[in-house]
Structure 1
Amino acid sequence: MNNIQEKGSESLEVIVTEIMNAYGTELSTLAFSYVKDIEASKDIVQNVFIKCFTHLDEFEGRSSIRTWLYRITINQCKDYLRSYYIKKVFLIGQVKEEITVHSPESITLKKWDEEQVVAQIMNLGKKYREVLILRYIQELEVREIAEILSISNETVKTRIRRGKNKLMPMLKGEFLYD
């Protein structure tokens, strides 16, 4: 799906549906990593696909569809976080972060450990959280992360290293599974 122009005979709706099926889950995870709110992340991803639908003809193919969608998603998340409403909510202390997943008893200790790591990543500052999520959860390459965030490869590497260094003290003694 790297070249939209090759899909000329297909309708725009079919192409966008294919894109939604291919990237919906990834974009939802990415949006959640920024806003830490499931409903808000769903709204953001919905807006991303609306923008995709309305601007797909403007996609020039200088990057992959995935990279383009990630960039739109990150911009939408940043807009959401900058919005007056969110600032107001944060200022009066009404936002409660809830990122724990209630697990059935059958969840293994290893799964619990993985959840603890994700929870600690979510507590990091945005610039470290975003590179760690893109690198280790979304499994993107450094060059892809650099392109998505519009920063250099070296900056990505530095943020990953610093994020991991900040994470280590937070995780000390948290693990049950070795």
Structure 2
Amino acid sequence: MKQGDQTALAELMDLYGTGIYRTAVLLMKDIHLAEDASQEAFIKAYQRIHQFTGQGSLYGWLLTITLNQCRTWMRKSAWRRLFYRAVPEETMIPRPTEVDHQGPEQSFLRQELLGQVYQLPYKYREVIILHYYQDLSVYEISEYLGEREGTVKSKLFRGRALLKNVLEKEEWQDEGSG
């Protein structure tokens, strides 16, 4: 792909497309926006392949481009308004391998939790998704986001605390109404 041939781009998309797309869906909360963002990320990668130095993995480099692309889209005012609307259920995509092994109750709880993750401010949602849904280490997240590990740990801590507060509040409401 260093020469920029389209066959290599197609192979790259076949190899990493699902992971890149899944990350975009989880961050953007909409399959259509995620599709556009991930396509643009691959186009940028194709155009800038000469900038890939070989340090780190190619997937990590693509993931960084995707994260930046998602951030760019989120900054646009039109997208920001869409971001706060209710998330249609059909746009949420759980991991197929996990859904196959889960019962209906586990699947429902997973979707409920993901719905709460979607309500977090973007800076916390981003690290929560990368850590828990994409199984990246704190070090990997810090590399991809260009932030210090301490910053990533702090965002994870605050994001988990926000989730805990919301979940405890919901539990209290459920117990109080029953």
Match among 39, 44, 52 for residue 32 of structure 2: 39
**Deviation string, structure 1 residues 123-178 (Cα, Å, up to 9, x no partner):** 11111101110001000111110011111111111211111111112223299xxx
Query: 2:85 aligns to what?
Result: 96
Match among 38, 45, 50 for residue 43 of structure 2: 50
- What SS does the corresponding residue of 1:140 show, helix, strand or coil? coil
Match among 48, 56, 59 for residue 63 of structure 1: 56
Distance in 1 of aligned mates of 2:84 and 2:121: 17
Distance in 1 of aligned mates of 2:89 and 2:79: 21
Match among 116, 119, 131 for residue 115 of structure 2: 119
How many angstroms does 1:94 deviate by?
9.9
Aligned-partner residue type, residue 159 of structure 1: K
How many angstroms does 1:95 deviate by?
6.5
Query: 2:96 aligns to what?
Result: none
How well do the aligned residues superpose, as a CA RMSD in angstroms?
Answer: 2.7
- What SS does the corresponding residue of 1:19 show, helix, strand or coil? helix
Aligned-partner residue type, residue 48 of structure 2: H
Query: 2:6 aligns to what?
Result: 13
Give TM-score, length-normalised by structure 2: 0.79
**Deviation string, structure 1 residues 62-88 (Cα, Å, up to 9, x no partner):** 22111111111111112112224335x
Match among 20, 23, 38 for residue 27 of structure 1: 20
**Deviation string, structure 1 residues 40-59 (Cα, Å, up to 9, x no partner):** 11011111111122222331
Superposed structure 1 runs of 4+ greater than 6 Å apart? none
Greater helix content? 2
Q: Does 1:147 align with 2:143?
A: yes
- What SS does the corresponding residue of 1:62 show, helix, strand or coil? coil
Alpha carbons 2:29, 2:83 under 8 Å: kept: no
Distance in 1 of aligned mates of 2:121 and 2:69: 18
Tell me the matched-pair count. 161
